[in-house]
């Protein structure tokens, strides 16, 4: 990345205060920035750092009013939303990096596989028969792409990702290191001898466009049909998505959440970390679920906020927690204090 403040401001829709010719070559935290760095001030708790930062330019809110003198070397770029502008700058910087192209001589690409223009396939990656990788994909080292897999244009697969047979990934997705797409669902049928017979998992996983799948996240193939991750879904690290789950568009799920089989989570939901979903339930669109909650039944009302195990509307949950503390106080702690006073 090497850009002037003027060019950057034009790209992100900002206005400049200071030198428009200052050259920026990196993006850094406000308290660690050096000369040539772009930084940002989105949370006013960190305002103090802007008066001492060594950054050459800072993204600030349009209505930011300094309470002290700013460093003479600092150029301000005023924007409507500093954090959104910071994210846009990061995306632009990442896009400007030069990625390699071509197929490593150490990769194993089946002769029947199709690889589009301007793709990179790293060393020790395996692409099996009938797979199709569209233009501009970055497939890094030690990736396994199974038979008949489809990967859309501009998608990035980081190291040691596995995409098993006949799964599909849309365009402009990012699959982080160690993710497994399309392993068998957890399907077993008890038999008369008291053992469990495996139920073959013959479906696939279908991931939409602009999705991100975190490191070591696992998405199981469907028993029949597809496990579906719709457009714009973001899954954090170490999430388990079971067979025949459907996750609606633009839903975000934090780390270590588990979703049991055949559950549907609607669009535009936000799920905290370590949430557990029972199987065969449905969660409506726009629902927010607090971390470590347990979803044991369907949530039919859209746009609600839920917490607890078993989960309930957050106001009810918090009221119960307050009442429980008061009850413990009344039944136990007050009596202990009275007894201590009596004994003393």
Domains of the chain: 3-96 (3.40.1390.10), 102-311 (2.160.10.10)
Q: What is the pLDDT averaged over residues 220-244?
A: 99
pLDDT tens for 1-54 read 789 999 999 999 999 999 999 999 999 999 999 999 999 999 999 999 999 999
DSSP state of 100: P
The torsion of the CA quartet 4, 10, 16, 18, rounded to 10 degrees, works out to 20
**pLDDT at residue number 342:** 80
- Marked catalytic residue, from 140, 158, 166, 243: 243
Confidence of residue 180 (pLDDT cuts 50, 70, 90): very high
243 carries an active-site annotation: yes
φ/ψ of 43, rounded to 5, equals -115, 120
DSSP lists the bridge partners of residue 295 as 277
Residue 139, pLDDT above cutoff 90: yes
pLDDT tens for 108-124 read 999 999 999 999 999 99
**pLDDT at residue number 335:** 79
pLDDT tens for 238-268 read 999 999 999 999 999 999 999 999 999 999 9
> Per-residue DSSP letters for 128-156?
-TT-EE-TT-EE-TT-EE-TT-EE-TT-E
| CB 207 within 8 Å of CB 245 | no
**pLDDT at residue number 95:** 76
Q: What is the pLDDT averaged over residues 310-314?
A: 95
What percent of the chain has a predicted confidence (pLDDT) above 90?
89
pLDDT tens for 126-136 read 999 999 999 99
Query: What global pTM score does this model have?
Result: 0.86
* Cα–Cα separations (whole angstroms), residue 259 to 70, 186, 306: 50, 12, 16
**pLDDT at residue number 93:** 85
**pLDDT at residue number 343:** 82
Residue 98, pLDDT above cutoff 80: no
**pLDDT at residue number 344:** 75
Q: What is the pLDDT averaged over residues 64-74?
A: 95
**pLDDT at residue number 1:** 75
**pLDDT at residue number 326:** 84
């Amino acid at each position: 990345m090497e850009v002037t403040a003027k060019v950057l401001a034009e790209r992100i829709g900002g206005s400049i205060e200071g030198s428009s010719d200052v050259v920026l070559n990196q993006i850094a935290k406000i308290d660690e920035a050096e000369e040539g760095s772009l930084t940002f001030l989105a949370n006013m708790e960190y305002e103090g750092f802007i008066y001492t930062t060594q950054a050459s330019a800072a993204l600030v809110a349009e209505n930011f009013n300094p309470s002290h003198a700013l460093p003479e070397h600092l150029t301000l770029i005023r924007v409507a939303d500093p954090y959104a502008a910071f994210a846009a700058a990061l995306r632009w910087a990442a896009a400007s990096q030069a990625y390699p192209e071509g197929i490593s001589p150490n990769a194993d690409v089946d002769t029947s596989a199709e690889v589009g223009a301007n793709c990179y396939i790293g060393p020790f990656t395996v692409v099996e028969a009938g797979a199709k990788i569209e233009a501009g994909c970055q497939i890094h080292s030690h990736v396994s792409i199974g038979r008949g897999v489809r990967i859309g244009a501009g998608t990035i697969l980081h190291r040691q990702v596995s995409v098993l047979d006949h799964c599909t990934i849309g365009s402009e997705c990012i699959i982080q290191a160690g993710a497994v797409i399309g392993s068998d669902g957890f399907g077993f049928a008890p038999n008369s001898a008291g053992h469990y017979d495996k139920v073959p998992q013959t479906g696939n996983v279908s991931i939409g466009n602009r999705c991100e799948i975190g490191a070591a996240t696992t998405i199981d193939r469907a028993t029949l049909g597809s496990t579906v991750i719709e457009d714009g879904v973001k899954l954090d690290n170490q999430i388990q998505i079971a067979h025949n789950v459907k996750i609606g568009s633009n839903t975000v799920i934090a780390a270590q959440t588990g979703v049991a089989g055949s559950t549907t989570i609607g669009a535009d939901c936000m799920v905290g970390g370590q949430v557990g979903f029972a199987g065969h339930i449905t969660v409506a669109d726009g629902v927010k679920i607090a971390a470590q909650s347990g979803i044991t039944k369907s949530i039919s009302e859209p746009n609600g906020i839920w917490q607890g195990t078993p989960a309930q509307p957050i106001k009810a949950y918090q009221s119960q927690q307050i009442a429980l503390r008061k009850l413990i106080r009344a039944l136990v702690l007050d009596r202990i204090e009275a007894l201590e006073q009596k004994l003393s």
